[in-house]
Amino acid sequence: MRSGNPVLTDKAFSQAIDRGETMTLNGTVNKTFMSVLLLIGAGYLTYNQVNPAVLMVAGFGGFILALITIFKKSWAPITVPLYALAEGVLLGGISYLYNAQYEGIVSNAIFLTLGILLSLLMLYRSGYIKATENFKLGIFAATGGIALVYLVNFIMSFFGMSIGVLNPLNSSWISIGFSLFVVVIAALNLVLDFDFIEKGVEKGAPKYMEWFGAFGLLVTLVWLYLEILRLLAKLNSRK
């Protein structure tokens, strides 16, 4: 099994199988729904209270919780809800800053993210989209390439430089095209996540892996939402 999502690695389920109660697809869907509600709730409460210190703590805390979840999957029932809350606080502040620049952009990004999620889920369940090995390999390679670009940009930021196409204020068609490409790849990662979770259910992974599966989907959704925000900001800059 291969997933473009770095959280859902090939060994994630196979190493976690035990003799206890096994995960189910419905259970994973429920855990994902609860995680998204926690994220949205935290984001709503902090949306109008942008505090740089709080955002830094939330971002760092979310990163630490993500690492703990990846390396201690059995802790997922505790760490994933906390991760969702931390990410909600962070996204609330980021969303406020975007909306202050372009009013209405946040609601559009939320609806687009949820719409893409539901659309791809229906297409996947109906069999119109199948996660073949070549499909997985292509998305995995594209995701790795995007991650490399962001890593280079992060290193360049220490020297006061950045990659132009990543700037939300860059409204050139090349920059918009790059963001559109990233949004497509992020969205297609959802298909790989659906497939990976389904395989985990078939293999009889332990019950706590429902939370880990929800965590993987949440990571992809957060990435997708942020990229949609960036794309919409670039499009609005052209008006």
Dihedral sign computed on CA atoms, order 155, 160, 161, 164? positive
pLDDT in tens, 190-231: 999 998 888 888 888 899 999 999 999 999 999 999 999 999
Dist. CA 63–CA 57, nearest whole Å: 10
76 contacts: CB under 8 Å, gap ≥ 6: 69, 208, 209, 211, 212, 215
CB count, 10 Å around CB of 11?
8
Single-letter amino acid code for the residue at 203: K
pLDDT in tens, 125-170: 888 888 888 998 999 999 999 999 999 988 988 888 888 888 888 8
pLDDT of 2 above 50: no
H/E run at residue 3: none
CB 90 within 8 A of CB 62: yes
User: pTM value?
Assistant: 0.86
Dist. CA 168–CA 153, nearest whole Å: 14
104 contacts: CB under 8 Å, gap ≥ 6: none
pLDDT of 69 above 60: yes
Dihedral sign computed on CA atoms, order 106, 107, 111, 112? negative
Domain residue limits, the chain? 11-237
Q: 17-26, 38-47, 139-148, 227-236 — which is least confidently predicted?
A: 17-26
| Nearest of 195, 185, 148 to residue 156 by alpha carbon | 148
Q: Which residues of 53-68 are buried (b: 16+ CB within 10 A; e: fewer)?
A: eebeebbebbeebbeb
CB count, 10 Å around CB of 120?
19
pLDDT-derived band of residue 9, with 50, 70 and 90 as boundaries?
low
DSSP state letters, 129-143: S---HHHHHHHHHHH
